[in-house]
Structure 1
Amino acid sequence: MPRPDLPSAVSRRPSPLLLLAFAVAALVALPLAGIVAQFTEPGTAATWRHLAAHVLPEYLANTALLCLSTGLAVAVIGGGTAWLVAMHDFPGRRWLEWALVLPLAMPAYVLAYVYTDLLQYAGPVQSGLRAAFGWQRGDYWFPEIYGLGGAATVFAASFYVYVYLLARTAFLERAGGAAEAARSLGCGAWGAFLRVSLPLARPAIAAGTALALMETLADYGAVAYYALPTFTTGIYRAWFALGDRAAAAQLAATLLGFVLLLLTLERAARGRARFHGGSRRRSPRRALHGVAAWLATLGCALPLVIGFVLPAGRLLALAHADGDAQLGPRFLTLAGNSLAISALTAALATLLALALAYGARLARGPARRAAGLLNRGIALGYAVPGSVIAVGILIPVTRLDHAIAALWQSLGQPHPGLLLTGGLAALVYGYLVRFLSVAVQTVDTGLSRITVSMDEAARSLGRGRGALLREVHLPLLRGSLASA
């Protein structure tokens, strides 16, 4: 009987999954290549010198500080809440476990608007304080909502969910049994967390933090509302206010450099860790009592209240007071269209991410390195502002649309219209360029937690790649695929 793990002529052929990775990477790179190509236009050197002398230092400083503040906050909030709900039992844990994802439904710019409305000088909070204590302007100190601090707070409240989802899955699938074993050997609760649970969840926390930071880098609404000069506000100002495509493209290319650095740091945070052996049995949650139990409830409820409950309540109050002309049949139509497009994009992104991450896992030697680089390259689209991606897509896709129409008319048929840009195809394409990285990071993190010994055991029993995916990996990836 032939050994299934020995290379064969078939295994030396290019893997279909690797070819798919090249094709997807090329599609993702198309709008980004259009941005980078602006560097070749005449006069761009002078534009770059002007940017470097006048605005680039401020953009660099603000963007770096914003990423540092947001990254620390989402890692602590997302990782901490995930550890509490996955490893402990306390009042309200069951509903908090799913409710903690709700802030992801609240865009960061909406949070910025709501908290500015609540916390500004004329808002209800400061007005209530002045009325209660008889204060006047200058009699009291109140934190400034505008600027770097406000933006970092808003991003942390909105994006910690990325870390929470990935870290919760890691704690449930890997850390529970190991932490229980550590405690049985005399290690305390904090010692088990710091020395066992946290290292096992580190890849997931790093991946979630990277996703949150890429979302932060790409955001325009919140930083523009808070008047914080960053790369995204500079790109929009250069492209749409000043009409300087070259300057906008150069700023966007610099932003891509930030993303490359971020991805490199995320990989370094993961390290070369691989998981071998160990039980995947979920251990019983440790019950908390007394003050510790209620502190855990408060610690999990606070991000939910800040990121969803207060903003949603304020928006409902404003809608009830002022009315909303969009409510009614039009609202149902808009909601239906949004759900249909998001479901289609999510399904395609999850399938592509599974193929890309699985292809990188199966590849060996140079092919493995190539697949890893391609998957990291796909993540670049996540940090580019949506409007820039739209422009980068519309230019080549519109040309393709016109070419298809010309070919169709040359066959004696009537003009078919804009088949790609006039329908869902271009829109879904843009969403995939923007959000495929989320699914790839999530599935890749899930695959990294599947032990190498499981693959080797399945191959020794004669299981091929398809059976390995179907019988071993997919059942173990259910949580990661749902998160993707």
Structure 2
Amino acid sequence: MRGLATVALLVAVTCALPMIAVLIAALSGGTDTVRHLVSTVLGAYTWTTFKLVVLVALGTFAVGVGAAWLVTMTRFPGVRFFEIVLVLPLAFPAYVLAYAYTYILDHPGIVQTTLREMTGWGPREYWFPDVRSLGGAAIMLILVLYPYVYLLARAAFLQQSGTTFLAARALGSSAFAAFFKVSLPLARPAIAGGVLLAVMETIADFGTVAYFGVQTFATGIYTSWFSLYDRAGAAQLALCLLSVALLLAMLERVQRGKAKYHDPARRAPSMPPIELGGWSSLAAVVLCGIPVAFGAVLPIVILLTMGLGSEQDLLSPRYLGFVRNSVTLAGVAAVVTVIAAICVGFFRRLQPGRLSRGAAYVARLGYAVPGGVIAVGLMVPFAAFDNALDAWMRATFDVSTGLLITGSIWLLVAAYMVRFMAAALGAYEGGQAMVHANMDAAARSLGEGPMGTLRRVHLPILAPSLLTALLIVFVDVMKELPATLIMRPFNYDTLAVQAYRLASDERLGGAAVPSLVIVAMGLLPVILICRQVGRGRRV
């Protein structure tokens, strides 16, 4: 029992370490760096990040809520199909969509080339929207992040009774007006939680904004760390981003806590779905089909076309090495993260109190911290430790230890654990709710201790939840880019790094090959989510 508490608290300390290290490094950087940032890039980073966040928040709200309302409260041809496939874009990293759409929409792409051939226009005789822009980055992020809002809004709409909606209709409101006056306010906490999740992913994004040349805090941290070699500047930018992320995490937690709807008429029938016909049904099909087509179907077609035309051989020893590195990192990180989540969650169940609740709360904070911030927060203290140890060994024994921890796989795995602990812990606690307290009492009466109860009672029941947690963390690690770029060992590249490197060199055809593998891996947990969506639909 004491060992379990020690491990749980150690996990919480590890999750808190990046935030503490970033704070200390930023405060010790001096005011010169702060003044330089304020006078040069801080204002531009802040304004650009703010505009991107606003665009993504509005876009994910409109697409997610609109799609959730249509598939939940109306009936039109293909509604059962759309309520499932609307989740598919969640499998795509935004930077993969950026590569795909740049390939067809950029100046040498098929769209503009066809336009010039049909009209006879020269390269500078027409205007075409630039995909490599703030607006383009916002669209890419909206297409992959709206499922967060869709899933939570749909669940909220399914839980609503039809009584209040029908009462609004009886009082003369149209279906459209009743939606805005009744259904939308009741689902507001869940919708706000989904939008905040999308916003947190937006401020954490690096691959999309870096490729499109959009200067946000995420790109600023990477530039300061690698291009300018300004560790203090990177830490201070990371502190700014961390402050915003933690504020959003607090808002999301408050909204999730308020996401309760107490229906006084529990036996009231659910709202009968509205049957759409004619132009209305066609409009519903189009509106639900657009995000699926542009967020999943078209990108897959584009990537396949790009990949077939490239010279990248997925079966070559080099690419097999990328796959092996990615799978190794993702597999080890998934196992370590899930084991850590079990320790934190089981400790909270055995000893409910401030200590265990605090450990669980701190462990969850990593999901709000961008990968670049976590990387800086872990690299700074461990690099200082490695350098101090090496200096002491040289002075004492005339032996150089080098960098024992910095640049190792295990420090990168720790970063992944911090980043994705919330996902694993959420899946574990969701399954743990099915294990009644009487089962623990029965196990104790039969002579089992805490670890025996966990091994023989909890884990067999929680196997589906733990498998889901493993898959989610595995795929999230496969897609993670900023932490991997900053912290990976020398000459230890992954599929995500290879895709980013090829795209940065404008070799988009080559970038399609590793991107397709990442997407294929991402479809695994999304298929599980789709199955849950299908089971939870209203008849």
Could you tell me which amino acid in structure 1 is paired with residue 418 of structure 2? V
Kindly report which structure 2 residues correspond to 1:49-68, keeping only aligned pairs within 5 A, or say none. Answer: 49-68=35-54
**Closer, same or farther in 2 for the Cα pair 1:208/1:346, shift >3 Å?**
farther
Kindly report which structure 2 residues correspond to 1:264-275, keeping only aligned pairs within 5 A, or say none. Answer: 264-267=250-253, 269=255, 272=258, 274-275=260-261
TM-score normalised to the size of structure 2?
A: 0.66
Matched residue SS, 1:322: coil
Within the candidate set 151, 157, 160, 1:178 is matched to: 160
CA shift at 1:50, angstroms?
Answer: 0.9
Within the candidate set 401, 408, 413, 1:428 is matched to: 413
Matched residue SS, 1:136: coil
Comparing 192-201 with 428-437, which one deviates more in the overlay?
192-201
Could you tell me which amino acid in structure 2 is paired with residue 305 of structure 1? A
Q: Give the corresponding residue for 2:68.
A: 82
Q: Give the corresponding residue for 2:474.
A: none
CA shift at 1:215, angstroms?
Answer: 1.8
Q: Give the corresponding residue for 1:240.
A: 226
CA shift at 1:57, angstroms?
Answer: 0.6
Q: Give the corresponding residue for 2:292.
A: 304
Within the candidate set 11, 16, 23, 1:36 is matched to: 23
CA shift at 1:94, angstroms?
Answer: 3.4
Distance 2:321 2:167 in 1: 59
Aligned residues of 2:52 and 2:134 also touching (Cα < 8 A)? yes
Distance 2:267 2:317 in 1: 52
Comparing 335-344 with 131-140, which one deviates more in the overlay?
335-344
Q: Give the corresponding residue for 2:394.
A: none
Aligned residues of 1:214 and 1:383 also touching (Cα < 8 A)? no
CA shift at 1:214, angstroms?
Answer: 1.9
Could you tell me which amino acid in structure 2 is paired with residue 159 of structure 1? L
Within the candidate set 292, 295, 299, 2:280 is matched to: 292
- Counting aligned pairs with the same residue, the percent is 38
CA shift at 1:381, angstroms?
Answer: 2.7
Matched residue SS, 1:435: helix
Distance 1:465 1:299 in 2: 53
Aligned residues of 1:176 and 1:197 also touching (Cα < 8 A)? no
Could you tell me which amino acid in structure 1 is paired with residue 278 of structure 2? G
CA shift at 1:213, angstroms?
Answer: 1.8
**What is the CA RMSD across the aligned residues, in angstroms?**
4.9
Could you tell me which amino acid in structure 2 is paired with residue 308 of structure 1? A
CA shift at 1:58, angstroms?
Answer: 0.6
Distance 2:335 2:217 in 1: 31
Distance 1:389 1:378 in 2: 12
Q: Give the corresponding residue for 1:321.
A: 309
The answer as to 2:88 corresponding to 1:106 is: no
**Closer, same or farther in 2 for the Cα pair 1:159/1:349, shift >3 Å?**
farther
The answer as to 2:31 corresponding to 1:45 is: yes
CA shift at 1:317, angstroms?
Answer: 0.8
CA shift at 1:60, angstroms?
Answer: 0.7
Distance 1:209 1:178 in 2: 20
Unaligned regions of 5+ residues in structure 2, if any?
391-401, 444-452, 470-527, 533-539
Could you tell me which amino acid in structure 1 is paired with residue 421 of structure 2? L
Aligned residues of 1:21 and 1:375 also touching (Cα < 8 A)? no
Q: Give the corresponding residue for 1:116.
A: 102
Distance 2:102 2:387 in 1: 43
CA shift at 1:253, angstroms?
Answer: 0.6
Aligned residue-pair number: 447
TM-superposition CA deviations, 1:157-207 (whole Å, max 9, x none): 122222233333x23xxx335343334446354355334443443333223
TM-score normalised to the size of structure 1?
A: 0.73
Unaligned regions of 5+ residues in structure 1, if any?
1-13, 403-416
Matched residue SS, 2:82: helix
**Closer, same or farther in 2 for the Cα pair 1:189/1:60, shift >3 Å?**
same
**Closer, same or farther in 2 for the Cα pair 1:365/1:242, shift >3 Å?**
same
